[in-house]
Amino acid sequence: MNFQTARKHHMQFDHTQFTLGFRQALEYGIDYRDYEKVERLPEGIPLMAIAGVWGNHSDIRCLFIDQDGQTYRRHITGRVGQYVIRELDLNAKELQVGQVLVVLKDCRSA
């Protein structure tokens, strides 16, 4: 399965802005509770950014899908306006819908 097939099967919505409020996300058919909660995104596999659903002003739930249709929810707490996904070294507010990312192996844990 590729991202286009995964998108057809798992994403029945059409939004262009990555960050969404909870109710706004639901209107697009996105319920973050349906995504597997992870402490760290998996390494070495391409992940497509779906949405960042705001919890309150200090946290965001970043949603991703892999080529097999597996979904992931990464909870990020913000600091000084930055919502850094550490394993990607990216501010969640800068992600784009459909952006494909790969978490590199953490050499420090070897």
Within a domain: 110: no
Tell me whether residue 37 is in a domain.
yes
Question: In whole angstroms, how large is the CA radius of gyration of the chain?
Answer: 13
**Quick check: is 40 in a domain?**
yes
- Whether the predicted pLDDT of 32 surpasses 70: yes
Domain assignment of residue 33, yes or no: yes
How confident is the model over 45-103, as pLDDT tens digits?
Answer: 999 999 999 988 789 999 999 999 999 999 999 998 899 999 999 999 999 999 999 99
Residue 77 phi, psi (nearest 5): -95, 130
Strand residue runs (E) in the chain = 19-20, 36-38, 46-56, 59-66, 71-77, 84-85, 90-91, 100-102
Q: Is residue 109 part of a domain?
A: no
d(CA 88, CA 1): 24
pLDDT of residue 9: 47
What beta strand segments (E) does 57-93 contain? 59-66, 71-77, 84-85, 90-91
- pTM of the full structure: 0.84
Q: How many domains are there within the chain?
A: 1
Domain assignment of residue 93, yes or no:
yes
